[in-house]
Amino acid sequence: MSSGTETAGDTTAADPGQAMVRVEGLHRTFGSGPTAVHALRGVSLTARRGELTALQGRSGSGKTTLLNLLGGLDRPSSGRITVDGQDLGGLGEEGLLALRRDRIGFVFQSFGLIPILTAAENVGVPMRLRRTAAAERERRVAELLALVGLSDHVDQRPGELSGGQQQRVAIARALANQPVLIIADEPTGQLDADTGRAVMRLLRAVVRSEGVTALVATHDPQLMELADRTLELRDGQMVED
């Protein structure tokens, strides 16, 4: 992979329904020789703007590896990834950092909130890193916490919130810098079934209202039914669409 121009933004906004993510012939191998692990074997996919795609597969099927590559957290052994027209292979480390900061929102199974910060402060962290003006940051935080139904919990810290509420804060934080892509790795894995469905419905609503693309890894068949599309990985290969 080359490490060329350090630009992750400045792309033309995609029209609704246009491919936001393109993956072509993606391979990721860990190690070498007879002990090499082929985590991904020629994966190709597209994900459109305003679409929630569920990614299913057993543990070890390659879901997390694929999401890490799409989020610029890892580099493929071969193949091509484009996000909103930006070829990730042409980005160096600074470019990938800018991509993750400005264009991609992450939602993790473990929520990933900062314990000493309030809900509002946690949502505002990405905007602080981007040096967003205080007034705009406060406006956006209030807007996002309202969007996820937590306007009455702005001053509570993670330890004072339920698991479902913490994940809602995490979703709001992922939207802070108006990303084009949300990547969620088992976002309901630590939640009970009813709360998990509520969080998945929220993600689907957010995709519609914010016009973003979302790729969500999940094991739960009931959650997959809430997605626009379901893709399946098996032994590092895409087997179903």
In the block, residue with structure tokens 């939602």? 107
Between CA 142 and CA 148 the distance in angstroms is 10
Q: Are strands 213-217 and 181-185 parallel, antiparallel or unpaired?
A: parallel
CA dihedral of residues 121, 124, 129, 130 (deg, nearest 10)? -160
Q: What does the block give as tokens for 135?
A: 């007034």
The pLDDT assigned to 240 comes to: 60
Over residues 96-106, the pLDDT tens digits come to 999 999 999 99
- Which residues of the chain form beta strands (DSSP E)? 19-30, 37-48, 52-56, 78-83, 86-87, 104-108, 181-185, 213-217, 229-234, 237-240
The pLDDT assigned to 190 comes to: 83
Q: Is 21 exposed, middle or buried (0-12, 13-18, 19+ CB in 10 A)?
A: buried
Over residues 61-105, the pLDDT tens digits come to 999 999 999 999 999 999 999 999 999 999 999 999 999 999 999
The pLDDT assigned to 59 comes to: 84
Considering the entire predicted model, what is its pTM? 0.84
Over residues 167-224, the pLDDT tens digits come to 999 999 999 999 999 999 988 888 888 888 888 888 888 888 888 999 999 887 777 8
Closest CA to 48 of 215, 171, 185, 203: 215
Closest CA to 19 of 180, 238, 209, 224: 180
